[in-house]
Amino acid sequence: MTKSSKALAAVPHPQPATFRKATGSIEIAEPAGRLTLGDRQLFNHLLAVAAPSITDQEWHRVEMVALRRYAAEARNQTGENDNRRLKESVKRLQTTTVEYNYLDSERGPIWESSPLLGTCRVQERTGLLEFSFPAGLRERLAEPALYSLISLRVTYQFDSKYGLVLYEILKRYADRAAESPWWAVQTSELRDLLGCRDRLADYKDFRKRALDPALDEINRLAEFSVDLTETRQGRGRGGGQVVGLTFRIRRKDRAEVVETIKELDKPKIQRRGEKKTKALDVTAVRALTWLQGADYTTRQRWAGRAEVLGVKLPAAAAAADSLGLWVGSIATLLVEEEGLR
C-alpha cells in the first residue's frame, strides 16, 4: 500500500476535551445494532484526534496504547493489555454505513452514503494506528452544518450504548439558545437509531431495558437533564400504542452541575455498585408497596413462595405490618412475575 502524498497528522498522545460531531454521524440509522458501545466510543476518539487536521490531512495517526490509556483514565479503571478489541471495533466501523441528506446550491438535494471509517493500518512493532475517513465523509465531518459539541471524557463514562447514542443526539438540542429545547421523534425511527428494530419488540421492554437506563445515565452524567413524554394512538391497553416520543431538555443549575462533576469523578465500578444498590432499593419499595395493596390471599401466596425459596418468615408473615421483614428478599422475583414497573 502506498502512503498518501500528504503527510500524516501526528497526534501521538491525544487529550482532546471536546469536538464537533456532525449530526449525520450521530443519527446513524443502524437497525441491526451491530455497533457496540466500545465501537462508538472509539469512533468518537478517532474523530477527536483527527479534528484539528481533518480538512488538510487524508491520514491521521494515534498510538493504540494512548487510546487504551485515555479510556482507562477517563473511566478511572485499569486499561486493557492488548489491541484485539480495538481492531475488532475498527473492522465494524469500516462496515457500518452512514447516510447524509444535504442541499447543494447547484445540484439541489443530495443523498450520500459512506462507510464510517476508511482504510486503517497498525504498525505492529510500534503499535501506531494510521487511519483515514472516506473522502466524501471527510467533507461532511470537517464543516458540518449541524453538529453536537461532544465531551470525549463524558462519552467514556456511559455503560449503555443506548445512553451514549441518545446523549449525543440530545446534546445538539441542549446546546441551542432556545429556552426550553426539545426533540420529538417517531418510536420506529428511534428504534432504528438505537439499533432496536428487531430487539425488545414489546414497547414495555424497550422502555424498561433501553430508554429508562439511557435517560438515567444522561441525567446523572450530562450537563442537562431530560424528561420523556409518550404520544399514544388508538384505544388499546394503557391508552393505545406509543407512536412517538418527545424529549424535553432542561439545563442543570449550578448545584446540579456540581453533583454531575462529582459523579463523573467516581470510578465506573463505584457508580455501577451504587446504581445496583439503588435499583435493588427501588425494586424492594415497589414490591412492598404492591403487596401491601394486594388481598390477603395474594400476600399469603407470596409468603409461601418465599418460604419455599428458603426465606425465614416471621409469625403472621402475610399480615400487612409483617411484609417489610421479608419481601425485600424476593423483591426482584415478585416485580418480574407480577409485571411491575
The DSSP element (H or E) to which 120 belongs, if any, is: strand 120-123
Under 8 Å CB-to-CB from 293, ≥6 apart: which residues?
none
Please give the single-letter amino acid code of residue 4.
Answer: S
DSSP 114: E
Is beta strand 59-63 parallel, antiparallel or unpaired with respect to 9-10?
Answer: parallel
d(CA 199, CA 187): 13
Under 8 Å CB-to-CB from 220, ≥6 apart: which residues?
260, 263, 271
pLDDT in tens, 41-95: 999 999 999 988 888 889 999 999 999 988 888 777 766 778 899 999 999 999 9
Contact 161, 36 (CB under 8 A): yes
pLDDT at 32: 72
Please give the single-letter amino acid code of residue 163.
Answer: G
Mutual orientation of helices 161-174 and 212-221 as an angle, nearest 10°? 60
Rounded to 10 degrees, the C-alpha dihedral 285/220/160/153 comes to -160
Residue numbers of the chain with a pLDDT score lower than 70: 1-16, 24, 29-31, 78-79, 236-238, 266-281, 341
pLDDT in tens, 217-235: 999 999 999 999 999 987 7
Contact 238, 187 (CB under 8 A): no
pLDDT at 106: 84
- pTM for this predicted structure: 0.72
pLDDT at 266: 66
d(CA 151, CA 130): 23
- Tell me the torsion sign for CA atoms 147, 151, 152, 154: negative
Residues 187-210 as b/e (b if ≥16 CB within 10 A, e otherwise) read beebbbbbbbbeebeebeebbebb
